[in-house]
């Protein structure tokens, strides 16, 4: 039986839970895990290719958070802090695998004339539903980019983090966050190009 996506804890309740966690209250920490486990898992699952590795990384993330929560000073949000731990663990894991995918350079991405031609009837962001084919292509496109681009793309477009939050999680300048996001999307645009032109037959 799956635990369904749980709601983030009440913003007013979270500081009290954190305070209890500082006293090694496992029950309070469990509530924070309930609130963030699926979001962290969703992020890590796409950062680490192997599902078992991903599950291990998420467990490590929460255990490290539990060990270090007395050092959490509240300057950033708990979500930002958890994603930073998760991201660092993902980077450690991917370094072991040493993947170096081919990506666009920013100049080439800007100069490329091959933008996606989106027919008007298909461009309905609010009502857009991904079919299996497009979903597979998006997943494959995300999987084929470097962790540097992937992390920015997932944090911004999937986790709805602001540029500032991402800069905080990844410890990067704001401009770098934006340029990486642009490159990541350009990479994905290339991966989806065929589909959008109706040429892909999967």
Among 2, 73, 107, 171, binds other proteins (CB under 8 A): 2
Among 14, 18, 35, 37, binds other proteins (CB under 8 A): 37
Ranges of H-type helices in 69-173: 78-97, 106-111, 132-143, 147-153, 163-170
Name the segment binding other proteins (CB under 8 A); options: 12-20, 21-29, 84-92, 94-102: 21-29
Residue numbers 55-94 binding other proteins by CB under 8 A = 55, 58-59, 62-63, 66-67
Query: Is 15 a residue that touches other proteins (CB under 8 A)?
Result: no
Q: How far is the CB of 43 from other proteins (least distance, A)?
A: 10
How far are the Cα atoms of 52, 59, 175 from residue 66, in angstroms, in the given order?
21, 11, 32
Closer to other proteins at the Cβ: 91 or 196?
A: 196
Query: Is 179 a residue that touches other proteins (CB under 8 A)?
Result: yes
User: Which of 109, 133, 130 has its CA nearest to residue 182?
Assistant: 109
Query: Is 108 a residue that touches other proteins (CB under 8 A)?
Result: no
Q: For the beta carbon of residue 72, count every other beta carbon within 10 angstroms.
A: 15
| Residue 161 φ/ψ region, left for φ over 0, alpha for ψ in the -120 to 50 degree band, beta for the rest | beta
Among 13, 16, 130, 140, binds other proteins (CB under 8 A): 130
Query: Is 49 a residue that touches other proteins (CB under 8 A)?
Result: no
| Residue 74 φ/ψ region, left for φ over 0, alpha for ψ in the -120 to 50 degree band, beta for the rest | left
Among 15, 74, 115, 198, binds other proteins (CB under 8 A): 115
């Amino acid at each position: 039986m799956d635990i369904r996506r749980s709601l983030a804890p009440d913003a007013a309740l979270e500081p009290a839970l954190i305070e209890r966690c500082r006293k090694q209250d496992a029950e309070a920490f469990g509530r924070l895990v309930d609130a963030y486990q699926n979001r962290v898992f969703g992020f890590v699952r796409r950062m680490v290719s192997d599902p078992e590795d991903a599950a291990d990384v998420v467990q490590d993330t929460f255990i490290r958070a539990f060990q270090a929560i007395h050092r959490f000073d509240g300057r950033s949000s708990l979500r930002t802090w958890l994603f930073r731990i998760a991201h660092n663990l993902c980077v450690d894991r991917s370094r072991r695998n040493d993947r170096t995918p081919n990506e666009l350079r920013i100049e080439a991405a800007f100069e490329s004339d091959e933008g996606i031609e989106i027919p008007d009837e298909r461009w309905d962001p609010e009502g857009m539903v991904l079919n299996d084919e497009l979903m597979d292509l998006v997943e494959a496109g995300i999987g084929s980019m470097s962790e540097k681009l992937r992390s920015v793309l997932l944090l911004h477009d999937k986790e709805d983090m602001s540029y500032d939050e991402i800069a905080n999680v990844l410890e990067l300048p704001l401009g770098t966050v934006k340029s990486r996001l642009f490159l990541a999307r350009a990479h994905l645009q290339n991966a989806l190009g065929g589909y959008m032109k109706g040429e892909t037959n999967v």
